Every structure is written in structure tokens, then in C-alpha cells.
Amino acid sequence: MSYDLAIVGAGPAGMAAAVEARALGLAVLVVDEQAAPGGQVFRAIEAAHADPALGADYSNGLALAQSFRRSGATYRPGTTLWHLEPETGTLSLSPGAPAQARRVLLATGAQERPVPIPGWTLPGVMGMGAAQIMLKTAGAVPRGRTVLAGQGPLLWLLAVQLKRAGAPPALILETTPKGRLRAALAQGGWFAGRGQLLKGLGLLAAARGLPVVRAVTGLRAEGEGRVQRLRWDGGETACDTLLLHEGVVPATHVPLALGLEHAWDQAQQCWRPVLGAHGASSHPNVAVAGDGAGIGGWPAAVAGGQLAALDAAHRLGRLTAEGLAQRAAPLLRMQAEALALRPFLDALYAPSAAVLAPPEDATLVCRCEEVTAGQVRAAARLGAQGPNQAKAFLRSGMGACQGRMCGATVARLIAETRGVAPEEVSPLRPRAPYKPLTIGQLAGL
């Protein structure tokens, strides 16, 4: 079946875009890997919106999900995009038949930045985002002595959510260096974003009473068969579950595979698609919205999704240039307000050099193929110019995650070894299928 607009992802940006596009009369398809709408931030919102552990901000997603359900968009949950032909607008999907669209919006959100410390592959070590998924979808909390280590808003949000759920973390190891707050305040934006800042201060107040060690460096997980203890410079503790987090980065797997133009984001230390004001990418048929376009949080993602829908309607002849400008103006203001605090947050929670490029050669960086930091450095000295060449040397990026968890780290290690700026090393270029397929699925096409 053919559609005017196909949206990949049913998070805040994807849902908002679908609602806006349907209101403008577009035929809309939304495909999403999850069983229900919400994305990561509003995951399982329809079932868990009344859970007091998740907080009032989480409940804001219910109205958006309900509007999406009523919009009339064709919705295919539990569906994976494994290939996109942007010239023809053909989406190869699994399971089910392919779809055709005149315009495609990628609203695939963000992913947690990998935190490759020694021992991070031990059972019992997880990302905080994964722990939050379990809390939202199943009401599950970690058992035993849980330690949260890292930095960023999610660290404090999850700590408070676990506390409300009756399973407070035994210890919080915050990795933000001393003096970072002063540098962040100098970036500005904190006054314009004071509403969000007050929410953050509220989280810190709610976390009061939880034991915290600040300015932690040299973190390593140890244990026999699973994580049992943590060590860091100047301290150690017993541990049954370690939850790591050093911020999130745009999920650029599909945009990179399509060859869309990307630029290095110095503040967030990652690649992001180059986009117009309304989310249009370097390909005339593809747009990107939400955290996949640059980390900004769910209010900015909602505005970005709506802007992309307006732009699609204009390009497809359903909205005049004057109508686009008129409708876009308040959304652009909303987006700017939602992003006002980003310079402050990016400066406060900038990842350390040790997170971006593990200093110990024995640390695994590619879990799928068991490639260490030392092996990547050796490949760089032998001539690997970036992660695409490193695949030929080491198979890094060729496992089940297809480089999602190691591509950025491999690139940073190569940049460090070659003595060049990170933006001088091209990012990993994924290939279709974007997610692993079975032989049976391929044979059934």
C-alpha cells in the first residue's frame, strides 16, 4: 500500500508527527519495533501511566499516545525497518509486506552512549536505560545491592524512580568532575531554561538521603562469573547490580546507512544529521525528527515531529508556503524554549576522555566480536583510518549490534592513536539489513 508519509518510530516525535500529518489530510504509516507507542521516554505509557514510581512528567505522554491512537494513522507495531530505498520510498519491513511512501520521516530517537569500563561485560552490569525499560514495562527492580554510576539527568531520575518503587540504590557514583558546574553556568541558557532546571533541582531534592560519591574516576567492575564489586580511584564497594550511564546520543544507524549528510556535534561529542529548520535532510525525500536529530528531550522532539509533518504537507502540495510559515512559527518558538537548557546540560555532563576512549588496552570495546581497545589502537597504527577500515582488520562492528555499541568508541580510539580530531575520522557506515534478519525471513521475501 502507498502512503503520503511513512514515519519510523512511535516515540514523542513520531506520534506528534503522525497526529499533525493526519490533521492535514495526509495518508500516514507509522512503523515501530515496540508493541505499543511511547518510545523510550514514554515506554508502556498506556499501561503504566498511573505508576507513582515513574513520576508526573512520565504521565504527560498519555495524552499524546491517545491522540496518536485516534489520529487514523496506519500503525504497525512490532515491525522492524530493515531497508529503505529513499529514491522510490520503498520500506522493507519485518514482519509483513513492504510499504511505499512519498516521504519518509525517521524518528528513531536516541541510544545510550556506551560506557566501556573494565568489566562492563560481566553479568549484572547494565545501562540505566535498560533498567528503566524493565521498570516501565514490568514494574521490575534490581535485586540485591544496586549501584548507579555515571552522570546526566537519567542518573537522578532513575535513582528517584527506584527509591519510589521501594528499591533505592545502595550507592550513587557520580562521574561529573569537580568545577564542571561553574563551566556549565558560563555557557548560559540556564536562565532561559529555568523551568527544566527547576525540575532537575526537584529530582536532586527527591534523591536526598541516598549515599553519593562525587567526581569518581577509574571505575572498574570485578567479579567471578558476574559483577561482585566495584573499584574506583580511592574506593571500592560490594555490588550485585551495576547500572551505567554517560548520557545519550542520536540513533544515526539508518541515516548513516542512507548516506545522509552528517556533521560533528562538538558539544555532544557525536555525529548528527545535517537538517533544515523543519527537519529536512540532505535527501529530498527523507526527514529526521526527535532525539535522532540531536539530543533535546521529549518536548523538543514533539515540536520537531510536528514541524516535519508540516514540511511534508508543504512538499506534497497540501500546505502553502504561507501556511507552513504561519503554522511553524509557534512550533519553532516552542522548540527553541525546549532546547534553551541544552548548552548548560551539554557542558555539565560532557563525557570524559576515558569514557570516549578507554585508556586500558585490555578493555573490551566491541562486545560482539570481543575486540579490545588495544587491538583497535594496533589496527590504527597499521593503517586503519576509521571504523570502516577497522572492520577489515578486526571485525569490530560486524556483530549483532552492527556497530551501534562500538562504532563511536572505535572511531575515537583511532582518532586518539592517529593524533587527529574526532571529526576527522569518518563514522561507521552501516549497511542493510539495518537489524539482523534470519535466513527464514530472507527466504520468505
pTM of this prediction?
A: 0.96
Flag whether pLDDT at 294 surpasses 80. yes
Tens-digit pLDDT profile for residues 193-220 = 888 889 999 999 999 999 999 999 999 9
Lowest mean pLDDT among 72-81, 305-314, 382-391, 428-437: 428-437
User: Which of 315, 319, 260 is closest to 293 using CA atoms?
Assistant: 260
Using 50, 70 and 90 to split pLDDT, how confident is the model at 379?
A: very high
User: Which of 148, 181, 149, 146 is closest to 166 using CA atoms?
Assistant: 146
Flag whether pLDDT at 445 surpasses 80. no
Q: What is the pLDDT of residue 441?
A: 78
Tens-digit pLDDT profile for residues 142-188 = 999 999 999 999 999 999 999 999 999 999 999 999 999 998 998 87
Q: How many CA atoms lie within 13 A of 147 on its CB side?
A: 26
The 10 Å Cβ neighbour count of residue 230 is 24
Strand ranges (E), 63-145: 74-76, 80-85, 90-94, 99-106, 110-112, 125-127
Three cell numbers written together for 80: 522492524
Burial of 179 (0-12, 13-18, 19+ CB in 10 A): exposed
- Sequence-distant (6+) residues with CB within 8 A of 353 are 359
Cα 311 off chain centre by: 24
Type and span of the H or E element at 443: helix 439-443
* Angle in degrees, CA 361, 367, 372, rounded to 5: 15
Mean pLDDT score, 19-36: 98
Q: What is the pLDDT of residue 86?
A: 96
Tens-digit pLDDT profile for residues 331-349 = 999 999 999 999 999 999 9
Strand ranges (E), 187-233: 212-213, 220-222, 229-232
| Residue written as grid cell 566501556 | 116
User: Which one-letter DSSP state was computed for residue 113?
Assistant: P
Burial of 417 (0-12, 13-18, 19+ CB in 10 A): middle
